[in-house]
Amino acid sequence: MAKSKLEYIWLDGYKPTQGLRCKTKIVNDFSGKLEDCPMWSFDGSSTQQAEGGSSDCLLKPVCCVPDPDRLGDSWLVMTEVLNADGSAHESNGRATIDDDDDDFWFGFEQEYFLWDPEHNLPLGFPPGGYPAPQGPYYCSVGATHAYGRQIVEKHLHMCLEAGLNMEGINGEVAAGQWEFQGFAKGAAKAGDEMWLGRFLLERTAEDFGVSINWHPKPLGPTDWNGSGMHANFSNSVLRTCGDKAVYEKICEAFAPRIKEHIGVYGHDNDKRLTGLHETQSIDKFSYGISDRGASIRIPVATVESGWKGWLEDRRPASNADPYRVAAEIIRTVKGAS
C-alpha cells in the first residue's frame, strides 16, 4: 500500500490579518485528484476560529497540486474553513466570491520583503543603518543590488513544479523587496494559487533562515516604498467591449465604494496609500491611462487593443486576502452593468 503525504493548508482567524496554517495527513493509495482529498478537521480554538468547548472546524479541500519540495509522494492541499455544520466559517474569504461561471480573470502582483529576523531588517540593510537610496534595486542584478535571489529563484521553481500559473518575478524598488505574479481564470482559482504561492515562499525562506514580511509599509514613514498586491482583472465585458465609455463607467463605479474596497484591501494600508511612491491617497479615488499614481490604472495595452483588455486596481496591500479583494472587485464591476 503506497503512502502519500497531503499538506492541508488553511487561513486562520487572526485579526486584522489572517495567517497561513498547515498540517500533514497520511493517506493510502492517493490518486492525486482533488475529489479524493478527504475532508479533515482541526482545533479551531488554537487558531482563533472556535471556542474550546466546541472547537472542531472542518477543512474542505479546494485545490490540490504536487508538493515539489518534499520527498516521496507529496501534495499541497489548499482548503477553506467550514463550521462543524458545514457552513462557511466567518474567516472564509473564499466563500464570499460570486463568480460561479469563472467569467472573471485575475492576475495578482504580490510584493513582499525578504526579512532578516535576527536584525529585524530587510535583506541588504546593514544593522543600524540603511543601504544606498532606492533606485538601483528595481529589476536589478548584482550582489550590491539584488539581495536573496537564491530564495526567489527557488520559490519560482517550486511554484512552477507545483503547476501554479506563475507569470514572472522581479526585484522591486526597495532593497530586499521582490515580487511574483500569478494569473488564473476564475476568482477562486486565482486566490487559491496566490495563497499556495505565498505558502511556498514562506516554506522556501525557512531553509535560508529568512522570514517574509507582508506588511504594506514595514519600514515606517520613510522614502522606502511599501508593498502592494496589485489586482489586474477582467470579465467578458472588459475583454470584448471595445468601448471607452464602458471602461469609464466601470471605473467610475469604484468611486462611491472606497470604504468597501479599502475595508478588505489590507490592514495598515493607510501607511502605504499616501499619494506618494506610486500610490493614490487612501481616501481618494482616481483612474487614468498608464497612471501608476491612480487608484485604477488603465493599461496602455488595453487602449491599444481598441478598449479590449483589463484594468489594474493598485490599492490592495501586500497583506490583503486575494479572495476578499477579488470578491469586492466583482461586486463593483457587476454593479456597474
User: Could you write out the three-class secondary structure of 152-163?
Assistant: HHHHHHHHHHHC
Position 17 in a domain? yes
pLDDT-above-90 percentage for the chain: 95
Query: How much of the chain, in percent, has pLDDT values that exceed 70?
Result: 100
pLDDT of residue 276: 82
Residue 98 lies in a domain: no
Which residue, among 76, 81, 24, has the nearest Cα to 47 in the 3D structure?
Answer: 81
284 grid coordinates: 481618494
Do 120 and 48 share a structural domain? Answer: no
Residues 75, 110 share a domain: no
CA distances from 50 to 23, 47, 62, 135, 332 (A): 18, 8, 21, 47, 32
Is beta strand 287-289 parallel, antiparallel or unpaired with respect to 296-298?
A: parallel
- Asked if 142 and 290 sit in the same domain, the reply is yes
Q: How far apart, in whole angstroms, are the C-alpha atoms of residue 274 and residue 223? A: 11
Name the band, by pLDDT with cuts 50, 70 and 90, for residue 334: very high
Cis peptide preceding 256, ω within 30 of 0 = no
Average pLDDT over residues 66-94: 97
The answer to whether 4 and 71 are in contact (CB under 8 A) is no
Of the residues 66, 92, 118, the one at which a domain ends: 92
Looking at the 3D structure of the chain, how many domains does it have? 2
The string of pLDDT tens digits covering residues 298-323 is 999 999 999 999 999 999 999 999 99
pLDDT of 249: 98
Kindly tell me the number of DSSP H helices and DSSP E strands found in the chain.
7, 14
Q: Same domain, yes or no, for 33 and 154?
A: no
Q: What is the mean pLDDT of the chain?
A: 96
CATH number of the domain at 43, please.
3.10.20.70
On whether residue 97 sits in a domain, the answer given is no
pLDDT, position 222: 87
Task: Quote the cell numbers at residue 35.
Answer: 475529489
> Among candidates 236, 243, 250, which has minimal Cα distance to 333?
250
Distance CA 157, CA 32 (A): 20
pLDDT, residue 1, reads: 76
pLDDT at residue 277 greater than cutoff 90: no
State residue 337's pLDDT score. 72
pLDDT tens-digit series, residues 3-35 = 999 999 999 999 999 999 999 999 999 999 999
Is residue 20 one of the residues assigned to a domain?
A: yes
Model pLDDT for residues 159-180, shown as the tens digit of each residue: 999 999 999 999 999 999 999 9
Residues 241-264: tens digit of each pLDDT: 999 999 999 999 999 999 999 999
Write the Ramachandran bin of 72: left for phi over 0, alpha for psi from -120 to 50, otherwise beta: left
Domain end point (choices 92, 113, 134): 92
**Looking at the structure, do residues 328 and 184 belong to the same domain, yes or no?**
yes
The dihedrals phi and psi of 111, each to the nearest 5 degrees, come to -95, 155
Does the structure show a pLDDT above 80 at 214? yes
User: Which residue, 201, 183, 6, 194, is CA-closest to 93?
Assistant: 194
Is there a single domain that holds both residue 173 and residue 279? Answer: yes
Question: Does residue 274 fall inside a structural domain?
Answer: yes
Full-model pTM: 0.97
Q: Are residues 113 and 80 in the same domain?
A: no
Residue 119 and residue 248 in one domain:
yes
The closest alpha carbon to 178, from 114, 230, 127, 124, belongs to 114
Same domain? 58 vs 189: no
Query: Which domain covers residue 66, as residue numbers?
Result: 3-92
Residue 128 binned pLDDT confidence (cut-offs 50, 70, 90): confident
